[in-house]
Amino acid sequence: MSKLPHTPRDPLPDLLSAHAEEDRALLARAASGDEAAVRKLYRSHVGKLQRHAARILGVTDPDVEDVVQQAFLAALDGAAKFDGRSSVQTWLFGIVTRRALDAARARYRRRRFSRVWASLGLGMGAGGDQSPPDHAYQAANEVEQMLSSLSPLQRVVFVMHDIEGYTFSEISGLTDVGISTLHGRLLAARKCIDATVTQHAQTDNAARPARGQDDA
Amino acid sequence: MHRQDPSEGLILAPAWERVAWALREEPQLLDDVARARMERNLVDAWRARSARAVALPSGKLQFSRAMLIASALASAAFGALCVMFLPTDRHELAANATEVPARFDLVIDDGSVQSGYLTEGQVIESGRHGRIEVALEQSRVDIAPDSRVRFERLGRSELRLSLITGRVEVAFHPERVGEQHMSIETRSARVLVVGTQFSVDVDGQGNTKVSVSEGTVQVVPRGQGETRFVRAHEQIEVPIQAPQEREREVSEVIKSRLRAGSDVSATRERAGAEAVEPEATPLEGRVMRRAQHTRADGELESARGLLLAGRHAAARERLHRLARSETQPTSTRVEALVLIAESYTSQGQIPRAADTYRDAVNLAPHHPSGYNALFALARLNERYTDDRSAAGVVYREYLERAPRGALVSQAREALCRLGDASSCE
């Protein structure tokens, strides 16, 4: 009997750890113009933030780095607004999330518009668009491909709730989206992933006998 | 919510839960090179913002219109007094500032793909199809394709460049003739400028050619030879003096490598230099059609430019096109695949990079470029994955395929490092 671990990571230790206190001190020093503090703050968070932005925008998306950098600059500019109710990491996650979400939504809208445009027989897609549903999101592997089937907000709530372990109220505070909306989007995201996985499994099963014949 | 797999009798978590678990276990994407590059970009942007904030303080003081007018009048009056009575020379003030802002634009196919500011000691390379335009306060330097220049000194009273190879065209028009100097150093000569327009060419051996279109320049040969003045519409050639110059060249390469630091392009260049294997079949190059070579080189070069500009997706798209084209020479297609792999590596996509290196190996299994790709794949396994045995297997594969290759000793060292005692000497 094997069972996959499925408990989301608890963010509470982050909030309570000594690191949180150190981060606050670093942020204050960085805001006052201390370059060493800027570098240290950046080094301790950039990995997680970059991965988070990549999950929302797509691993190979060229805007990922830009989103992370702009988020850091915004954080340094607005350090005075940091009220200390959450950890610095959570606060930075919020800034990255909002910026990545804006970028993903803008693309999503553009893509929808181009589909409508193509359906009218106009634009670049007029010749019959064979591209995948979210061609703006370039997945690095099959697991990430599952994320590409989600809308931007579904992706954000799935990543933050089911992967990063944030609560609905925290996500709501970070994204300015109501809790009930987030809840609905999360259920839709999970259903969508289940459906995609099932579809993939069926495709694989259909391909398996054919491979067997080849081998034979 | 958990369901049982009828075929294996296992309790399966729902698909979304397995996807979430897999994503939670995913390693961080950033490698050290990308991390360092991003950090440098952030710090540069932050410094620039801080500088602007100092110049334009964003205080919340509310001025009334009368106060604003009064302060403007007071400033104007003070300025006028300064101009009339103070003996200070504005040129002197300017000359005291330390560094001249040197803005550069890297231009490929008539479009600027990268721009920024140069600092003292920085080396820039234009690439085969790139051109770099550098705008300084009283001068302009155009760096031709295939050139490499170091900006040694960017002072207000002295501008000094080292032209390592290639060609630069210079327009230097100082406000105060005699007080501001510009010089261009090459391996065979030193070109001193007073105020003029001219070009300097350095060929592969280091021979220098100076052509003057306006004004006069002074050319000082580095070895034996007299100082000459070259006037408008004249040109002079200064040949290199072999042994001493060769030593300088070697030290130049070593210095530039040491300076390269954590820069992505420099790392790529360094990695490329390490992996370069001498052509085992030099005749093959002659057989290839030259025109095709030139076009392919152009494509590779512009893709390199895009990579340098951080536009990885666009560069990879171009390179994939090149790699798929069966009309291109195999070595070009392999090079395109290697660049794609390097791009993936710099973005932390190690499995994709490994697959692409393997594609390159499969494309040219018996060609030096394929051997290089194999070595690069082994190094990727060694540096970016914890799978030491996989790295060892690939290094051994390299040794089997290229027993007399230039990277044999490095492959053996790596095997020794990975615990294969028989490879240690």
Q: What is the DSSP letter of A158?
A: I
Nearest Cα neighbor of B16 from A4, A205, A75 is: A4
Q: Which of A132-136, A207-211, B12-16 has the highest mean pLDDT?
A: B12-16
Up-side HSE of residue B241: CA atoms within 13 Å toward CB? Answer: 8
Per-residue confidence band for B78, with pLDDT thresholds at 50, 70 and 90: low
| Residues spanned by the domain of B220 | 102-244
**CATH code: domain of residue B134:** 2.60.120.1440
Kindly tell me if the per-residue pLDDT of A98 is higher than 60.
Answer: yes
Interface list for A 134-193 with B (CB within 8 A) = 138, 140-141, 143-144, 146-147, 158-159, 162-163, 189-190, 193
Q: Is residue B97 part of a domain?
A: no
Query: Cα angle vertex B363, ends B361, B365, to 5°?
Result: 55
Range with top average pLDDT, A16-25, A90-99, A201-210: A90-99
Q: Are residues B204 and B294 in the same domain?
A: no
Whole-angstrom Cα Rg for chain B? 28
Residue B116 lies in a domain: yes
Higher pLDDT, A83 or B195: A83
ipTM exceeds 0.95: no
In Å, how far is A178's CA from the nearest CA of chain B? 23
Is the minimum CB–CB distance between A74 and chain B shorter than 8 Å? no
Percent of chain B whose predicted confidence (pLDDT) is above 70:
64
Q: How many other C-beta atoms can be found within 10 angstroms of the C-beta atom of residue B361?
A: 25
Residue A96's SS3 state is helix
On whether residue B400 sits in a domain, the answer given is yes
What pLDDT shows up at residue B20?
81
Listed by number, the residues of chain A in 40-59 with a beta carbon closer than 8 Å to a beta carbon of chain B are 42-43, 46-48, 50-51, 54-55, 59
pLDDT at res. A97:
92
Q: State whether B236 and B162 are in the same domain.
A: yes
Residues B419 and B333 in one domain: yes
For residue B193, the cross-strand partners are B182, B217
CATH of the domain at B340: 1.25.40.10
Per-residue pLDDT, averaged over B181-197, amounts to: 78
Residues B224 and B329 in one domain: no
Residue B20 lies in a domain: no
Strand B216-221 versus strand B228-231 pairing type? antiparallel
Q: How far is CA B372 from the centre of its chain?
A: 21
Nearest to A162 among B16, B35, B310 (CB): B16
Q: Are A143 and B23 in contact (CB under 8 A)?
A: yes
| Partner-chain contact A2 B50, CB within 8 Å | no
Q: Which residues pair with B112 in a beta bridge?
A: B107
Single out the residue of B151, B142, B164 nearest to residue B117, CA to CA. Answer: B151
Tell me whether residue B85 is in a domain.
Answer: no
Name the pLDDT band for B179 (thresholds 50, 70, 90). Answer: low
pLDDT score for A188: 93
In this prediction, residues A27-39 reach a mean pLDDT of: 87
Specify whether B112 is located in the same domain as B232. Answer: yes
The DSSP symbol for A79 reads G
Q: Give residue-wise pLDDT tens across range A40-54.
A: 888 888 988 988 898
Q: Report yes or no on B410 lying in a domain.
A: yes
pLDDT in tens, B359-373: 898 888 888 778 888
Q: Both B214 and B320 in a single domain?
A: no
Out of A5, A42, A60, closest to residue B313 by CB? A60
Same domain assignment for residues B236 and B267: no
- Do residue B269 and residue B226 come from a single domain? no
Q: Is A69 on the interface with B (CB under 8 A)?
A: yes
Residue B241 has pLDDT above 70, yes or no: no
User: Measured between CB atoms, which of B20, B38, B310 is closest to A163?
Assistant: B20
The verdict on B370 and B321 lying in the same domain is yes
Claim to verify: residue B231 and residue B297 sit in the same structural domain: no
Residues 6+ apart with CB under 8 A from B11: A1, A2, A3, B2, B3, B4, B5
Residue entry with tokens 């950890």: A87
Domain shared by B194 and B267, yes or no? no
- Per CB-CB distance under 8 Å, the chain B contacts of A3 are 2, 11, 13
Query: Which residue type does A6 have?
Result: H
Residues B271, B219: one domain? no
- Look at chain B and report how many structural domains it folds into: 2
What is the largest distance, in Å, between two alpha-carbon atoms of chain B?
A: 97
Task: Give the residue-averaged pLDDT of B29-53.
Answer: 73
Mean pLDDT of all residues in chain B?
70
Backbone Cα Rg of chain A: 21
Query: Does some domain include residue B72?
Result: no
Q: Map out the domains of chain A with their CATH numbers.
A: 12-204 (1.20.140.160)
Chain A residue with CA closest to B9: the answer is A1
**Does the global pTM surpass 0.80?**
no
Distance, CA of B389 to CA of B407 (rounded, Å): 19
Q: Is residue B337 part of a domain?
A: yes
